[in-house]
Amino acid sequence: MGVSKAVLGEPTIIEAMIQGGVQFIADSRIENIQKMKKAGISTRFVLLRTPLSQAESIVINVDISLNTEIETLKKLSHYAKAYNKSHEVIIMVELGDLREGVLPCDLSQFVEKTLSLPHIKIVGIGGNLACYGGVKPDNKNMHELSKLTDTLEKKFQIRLEIISGGNSANYKWFKSAGDIGRINNLRLGESILLGRETVNRKAIPGLHTRAFQIIAEVIESKKKPSLPYGKICQDAFGNIPDFQGRGIHQRAIVALGRQDIQMSGLKPDNKLEILGSSSDHIILDSNDHKLKVGDEVKFDLDYSGLLSAMTSPFIRKQFTDRKNRAAA
């Protein structure tokens, strides 16, 4: 499954994922799925997060949803009946990371209750690690998921089509595990988009790690002291700032701020140094760069940078492909 949430289901990017061979597109937000469908994208859509209040819209818009609560499944069944449909679900199992998941000891009973809902079809089970608790996917927890699959299939005489082992953090396990057991699916966002696995953030061979860049405009470039002068109070975000003196130096300000981007997710792609930021400005030590007003400054993005930049309505998204770049 290609996971589209970090790029808000941007159709150009999602088309590329589908051309790349993913069989499903998964997103956490129904709005993104609606956007992709409106853009004419045709695939099996999976919803990664399933709020009770959106049950009707989920039944209408989504092929498969990930679930952990009977209340929600009942409501999905109710609307599936109303729309004369069968709604497919993957039951998420807790494997230790303590985000979503039915505890393994409660799984049988949970599946039994789900099977009694006439308009719900269980198509698989899944696990999610390395999100909240930072727990690594390994042979032990993946084997547990495989074993639970066998147990459920046997006990209820059902066939589970999708055994979804996890997210981009599963790449390393998948490449190194000799035996992947029953796991036949991963839900991959960051590793496809940014070309890195997410346990050690190592580059994946053959993938681009700089497919996304953000470009900001220089709006001021001056030599200034490095230490503020006057009485110090709280800054715009309620912190008392602390500065290192580095004498008079060349500073540049770019028109990009915390309203657009998570600052920790931004990496200058050259010798610029980020000194600080406010809602609408980033202050750079521009060293030997002779930046002029109107110049462009490029930054690389990590996952939080990509997520926030894609979400900002102030950032214009522009796509280039190899063909266009060669022509340019």
Ligand X SMILES: *Cc1c(COP(=O)(O)O)cnc(C)c1O
Q: Which of 41/48 has CB closer to ligand X?
A: 48
Residue of 5, 37, 121, 136 with catalytic role: 5
35, 172, 187, 196: residue in contact with ligand X (rule CB under 6 A)? 187
Between residues 67 and 277, which has the closer beta carbon with respect to ligand X?
67
For the segment 119-148, give every residue that binds ligand X (CB under 6 A): 128
**41 or 199: whose CB is closer to ligand X?**
199
Question: Shortest gap between Cβ of 267 and ligand X (angstroms)?
Answer: 18
* Helix, strand, coil share of the chain (percent; to 5): 30, 25, 45
Q: Interaction with ligand X in 143-172: which residues (CB under 6 A)? A: 167-168
Sequence-ordered list of residues with C-beta below 8 angstroms from that of 83, at least 6 positions apart, any chain: 59, 60
Query: What is the footprint of ligand X within residues 188-217 (CB under 6 A)?
Result: 188-191, 198
d(CA 14, CA 192): 11
**What is the rounded distance in angstroms from the CA atom of residue 11 to the CA atom of residue 36?**
6
Binding residues with ligand X: total (CB under 6 A): 13
In one-letter notation, the amino acid at residue 83 is Y
5 is catalytic: yes
Which part of the chain contacts ligand X (CB under 6 A), choosing from 187-195, 229-237, 250-258, 319-327?
187-195
Radius of gyration of the chain (CA): 24
Listed residue (177, 99, 174, 181) closest to 148, CA to CA? 181
What are residue 104's DSSP bridge partners? none
In contact, 243 and 260? CB cutoff 8 Å: no
State in angstroms the smallest separation of the CB of 25 from ligand X: 12
For 171, residues 6+ apart whose C-beta sits below 8 A from its C-beta are 186, 188, 191, 197, 198, 199, 204
Centre a 10 Å sphere on the Cβ of residue 292 and count the other Cβ atoms it contains. Answer: 9
Of 6 and 117, nearer to ligand X (C-beta) is 6
CA distance 109 to 148: 13
Q: How far is the CB of 129 from ligand X (least distance, A)?
A: 10
Q: What binding mask, one character per residue, do residues 26-65 give for ligand X by CB under 6 A, x or -?
A: --x-------------------x-----------------
| Interface segment toward ligand X; rule CB under 6 A; list 67-75, 148-156, 186-194, 261-269 | 186-194
Q: Which stretch binds ligand X (CB under 6 A): 155-163, 183-191, 264-272, 310-318?
A: 183-191
Least gap, CB of 328 to ligand X (angstroms): 30
Of 5 and 121, CB closest to ligand X: 5
Q: Which is nearer to ligand X, 166 or 268 (CB)?
A: 166
Going by the DSSP 8-state scheme, the letter that residue 108 receives in this structure is H
Six-digit token pair at 216?
């900001």
Closest-by-Cβ residue to ligand X is 189
Span interacting with ligand X, options 38-46, 115-123, 181-189, 251-259, rule CB under 6 A: 181-189
To the nearest whole angstrom, how small is the minimum distance from the Cβ of residue 183 to ligand X? 14
DSSP 211-240: S-EEEEEEEEEEEEESS--S-----TTS--
Other Cβ atoms closer than 10 A to 72: 19
Which residues contact ligand X (rule: CB under 6 A)?
3, 5, 28, 48, 128, 167-168, 187-191, 198
Just list the catalytic residues. 5
